[in-house]
Amino acid sequence: MNATNLDDTILKHFMSTFYGSGNYKGDYWFIGMEEGGGLDLNQVTKRIDAWSELGQNELVDIYQFHLKIGFPEYFTNPVRLQKTWAQQARILLSSQGLQSSTEDVRIYQRDQIGRISGDTCLLELLPLPSPSLNTWNYNSWSSLPFLKDRNVYRDYCIPWRTKHLQLRIMQHKPKVVVFMGQVYSTYWQTIAGQHLDFVDIGGFQADNFAGTLYVITKHPAAYGVTNAYFEEIGDFISNFL
């Protein structure tokens, strides 16, 4: 890729292949809308290059990936907590009846979350990182027609990526699928299946089918959300494990 544009062939392959980090065989899957980041062309280029160097697979090891893109501080002492991963760790620890203090979460993020042989799978419905919903730079960095604006991009990606996530859930049958972000509930309902009837459990929604518990939560970056909220979700999940 050159200094002014992304390589459209590699970019399209990345979009059609990359889904996140961790292990499809893990019991705990977390699905979000899209990764943050991608503030500039250099950041996006680094991510695609790192993915290529790691084998161009659906999933990467989160530690190896972030070392390559220049963010070791999330996995090396003193560990910098990443807001979404920290609350995912808090859900998992609480669901197993373990302590979920800030230090416990820090250790889990450092050693366990998103690892290729671990118990978590961190997935994104949309493939490209973006710093905010109101920011769209890819039309300046690529000539791919489905990247002309965010709405066209969503309409292009969501149908086939939804089907792919459904397929992976059917294949691997995780114990828990946690969808992050209630504003995207329509998409989460489609992935989980229209036959599911999500019931509100005091601020989050849940239903189970065929041995998998599905939970829709507030996003960790949502205003006013607390650690206790995610601990309560973990406690709820523990009843189904």
Encode pLDDT of 122-174 as tens digits.
999 999 999 998 999 999 999 999 999 999 999 999 999 999 999 999 999 99
- Full residue range of the structural domain in which residue 194 is found: 8-238
Residue 81 lies in a domain: yes
- Count of the separate structural domains present in the chain: 1
pLDDT at res. 133:
87
Residue 234 lies in a domain: yes
Residue 160 lies in a domain: yes
pLDDT at res. 2:
47
Q: What are residue 22's DSSP bridge partners?
A: 121
Residue 87 lies in a domain: yes
Structure tokens at 173: 């049958």
* CATH label of the domain that carries residue 81: 3.40.470
Please tell me the distance from the alpha carbon of residue 172 to that of residue 178, in angstroms, as a whole number.
Answer: 15
Residue 105 lies in a domain: yes
Please tell me the distance from the alpha carbon of residue 113 to that of residue 1, in angstroms, as a whole number.
Answer: 30
Please tell me the distance from the alpha carbon of residue 212 to that of residue 238, in angstroms, as a whole number.
Answer: 13
Maximum Cα–Cα distance across the chain:
52
Encode pLDDT of 9-61 as tens digits.
999 999 999 999 999 999 999 999 999 999 999 999 999 999 999 999 999 99
Residue 73 lies in a domain: yes
Q: How far is CA 70 from CA 43, 47, 75, 83, in A?
A: 10, 10, 11, 18
Please tell me the distance from the alpha carbon of residue 168 to that of residue 125, in angstroms, as a whole number.
Answer: 13
Residue 1 lies in a domain: no
Encode pLDDT of 66-124 as tens digits.
999 999 999 999 999 999 999 999 999 999 999 999 999 999 999 999 999 999 999 99
1 pLDDT more than 80: no
Residue 147 lies in a domain: yes
pLDDT at res. 4:
73
Encode pLDDT of 199-237 as tens digits.
999 899 999 999 999 999 999 999 999 999 999 999 999
156 burial level (CB within 10 Å; 0-12, 13-18, 19+): middle
Please tell me the distance from the alpha carbon of residue 21 to that of residue 30, in angstroms, as a whole number.
Answer: 10
